[in-house]
Structures are given as C-alpha cells and as structure tokens.
Amino acid sequence: MAKILVMIPSGEVYNHDCVRWYEYQQVQKHIDHYHNIGDAFVFDSSLKLLNYDKLDVLTIRNVKPGDVERYNAEYDYVFLRGSNYIHSHMEWENAEQVLPKLKIPILAFGVGAQAPVEGKLQLSEQSKRIWNIIADKSASLGVRGTYTAEVLWDLGIKNVRIVGCPTAFRNNDPDLRIDLPPLDQVKNVGFTMRREVSAAYAQNIETYLTRHRDVVKEMARRFDIVMMMQGEVEEKKMLWGTDEQKAHALAELKNNGWIGKWFLDEEMEELYKTKLWYSDVVADYEALVRSKDMVLGYRLHGNLMALANRTPSIYFSYDSRTVEFAETFAIPCYDVFSQKPFVLEEYWDQAKFERFNRTYYQRFRDMRAFLDENFIDHKMHHGVARPRQLQVA
C-alpha cells in the first residue's frame, strides 16, 4: 500500500480517511477564524478514493533541511488537494524551491481556475512556473472543467484531463443516479448559503444578495429548511457564541453596507436566529444532506456533497467556478444574474437530472482513468455496484 503526502491540506485526519477542522472541539479558540469547510470536503473525499497506509503533509511554508530527501526516500507521491488555485492572487510560498527537487510524482487532484468578471485571467510568472513543474511531474493534471483546461492549455500545458471534483465520487458509487420524488413529497430542504460576495467575481452585488435573500425566504415558506453555512465568523458566533458574541455578530451583519441593505431584512434575521446550521466535521455535513429531500443553493461543495449521497441538488451560478462545476457534471443550474426569477418547478424535472445521471457515469470513469494513468493505487476499481432495475415493457 502506498505512502503518500498531501500538499495544502484542510483539516486534521482521523479514522484513516475522515477530516474535521483542527481542534474542532475548542470552539472559542477559532471562532474568529474563517475557514471554508468546503475545502475539507475535498480533502476528505480525496482520501476516500485513495489506497494508502501512511499519510503525511508536504510542508511548503517551513521546509527543514532534509525534508525533501525524506519525502523522496519514504513516499510514493504527493497530491495537491483540489481547490481554486489558478487565479491572479495565489501565493505559493516556497513551492518553487521545493517542488523541482521532488523525485516523486505530483498529482493535481481536481484543481480549478477562477475567472475575473472582466478581462482575461492574469497569472503571476511564479504561478506559470509552478503549474509547468506540476505538469512535468505527472502523466496528467486532473482539472475541474473546460475553462480550467483551456487556461492551462494556453500556458502550454497539454497533459490535462477533466475529472470534476473528488467530492462527487466520495462514496465510490459508479452507478449513482438522482431520481426525483414528486415535489409535493419534498419536506426537508437544505439551503447552502453564501452571503459573502466579491465585486471581482459577482457582476452585480445587489442582484446577487437580493436574489439570494428572496429565494431563501421563499424556500423557508414552502419547506422546513436548514441554512447550511461553511465557516463564516458571524454565523459561527450566532450558533456557538456567548450572548455577547451573538449580539455583536448580528450587529456586524446589520452594519455591513451590502448585507444590511440587501440581505438581512426582518424575515431573514428571524431565519438566522432559528435555521442556521454549521459543523467543523465533514461527516456531520454528509449525515445532514442524507437526511434531506433536496439541497440547493450557492455552495459548490455543499451541493456536490448532496448529489454524491443521491440527494437532488440545484446549483445557483454566479461566477466562473459555479458555471464550470455545473457544466462538468450537467447539474441543473439557475443563473443568479439572469433576467427571470427562480422557479423551483422549472428545475424539478427528471429529464434535467437524467443529463446529470449520464454525465456522472462518464465522469466517474474519467476520474478512474486519470488515477490509472498516473499509476495511483485507488478504490475506484471496486465501486459499490448496485443492481440495475430491469425495464419491463
């Protein structure tokens, strides 16, 4: 079995392949720290696809003498946890000094590029060099979708394979499919929230926030909803903080120009006080989405976690990442900046989800082929095969 390294982990590993945030039980210690638990979903999901008996972290911040020699002597490969690394502000710390010295393969495991609202993506010269180093040390790079593949192609990197994201395949289920129940049977709904927004990626902040607010309120009137957060400080304080911290967090949100004006009205404030949910443990998210009839909203990995567990999910796209994800897996997707309001019934359509079912079937095999061609010991040859239903005329 393999001995492997991870570059840029996101959380601590327990029970071999499960991830939670560092010192997750010491809530007050990191209640002021924002970390996106979606990154931990990807880390956790990656580990669930790989066969290994030893896992360690490749440090690129504080490299000690002898570290690289030890990596080369003791480990079979290093994988770069999938995330949004290909953008204009990426800081690679000492990677340019460490990676060229590695004699073991580097596996880019579902990485993605982020496009700005206007103009072409401009990468630093360091980033260009880093991606060429990684490309030279692997048979192929596994990327999120077509846009990311095109960005790397323009850098002269041709050994790219579109694999989506490990989160989609975390249950190693090659025959996964989404079958919609009648909408009138849907009762319990998860909404993946993203109230933080940047003008660099969302083309209209007011539209983004007011649409977000209005859809959440509509879903709350129709269903028993849970508002699934991903690590935002104010929301953590409202859930876990002292009375003083809760009051301060609510005041901070109300005083935020965009949030106070376009998002947190009285109805939303009441939902914030009664329907918020968050955990620093990936397994808790999985248990939650399994208990829901539907999950929809703005979070890439929160929605993908639902689909990976056969819970129907609808994406809300607002930037190049969300569009790329939805395209890679053919997931039903509402454009937040479209001219028409969101109507759930238009997306609750089995034909739309059959496109996802067919595409997932192919993407599972793309990911498996990617791991094979990089000589990675993995579990995807032994998927959880489910008996197929015979169609009787």
**pLDDT tens, position by position, 148-170:** 999 999 999 999 999 999 999 99
Nearest CA-CA partner of 148 in 297, 19, 324? 324
Beta strand ranges found along 66-170 (DSSP E): 77-81, 106-111, 141-143, 160-162
Query: How far apart are alpha carbons 328 and 44 in whole angstroms?
Result: 21
pLDDT category at 382 given cuts 50, 70, 90 is low
pLDDT exceeds 90 at position 113: yes
Nearest CA-CA partner of 289 in 297, 319, 163? 297
pLDDT exceeds 90 at position 280: yes
Query: How far apart are alpha carbons 215 and 232 in whole angstroms?
Result: 20
Contact present, 307 and 173 (Cβ < 8 Å): no
**pLDDT tens, position by position, 193-207:** 999 887 776 788 999
Give residue 1's pLDDT: 84
For the chain, the straight-line distance linking the first and the last C-alpha, in angstroms and rounded, comes to 48
Contact present, 32 and 233 (Cβ < 8 Å): yes
**pLDDT tens, position by position, 233-244:** 999 999 999 999
Give percent above pLDDT 70 in the chain.
Answer: 96
Give residue 320's pLDDT: 87
Give residue 202's pLDDT: 75
Domains of the chain from N-terminus onward: 2-173+361-382 (3.40.50), 183-354 (3.40.50)
